Amino acid sequence: MWEVRIFTGRRDTRGRPTRTVRTVRGKREAQRLAIDLADGPCRAFAGGRTVGDVLDEWVEFDADM
């Protein structure tokens, strides 16, 4: 099992880092996922967005797959 962590920005309130974390099987799959996540919409900063904004972005991202 491989865990892929991608830095997604900082929160507005305290400046704490945010990240996306996914678990996959195999090194090659982890490398591909890391590249996809780094280039995808998850790369945008997380702070200041509503849950609705994040869900809308996730639906767009999921539709592309």
CA 2 to mean position of chain CA atoms: 16
% of the chain surpassing 90 pLDDT = 17
3-state helix, strand, coil in the chain (%, to 5): 45, 25, 30
For residue 60, pLDDT beyond 60: yes
> Backbone phi, then psi, for 46, in 5-degree steps?
-90, -30
CA 26 to mean position of chain CA atoms: 19
% of the chain surpassing 70 pLDDT = 78
For 8, the enclosing helix (H) or strand (E) is strand 2-10
Q: Look at residue 4 and give its three-state secondary structure.
A: strand
pTM of the prediction?
0.49
| pLDDT tens figures, 31-55 | 998 888 777 655 455 556 677 877 8
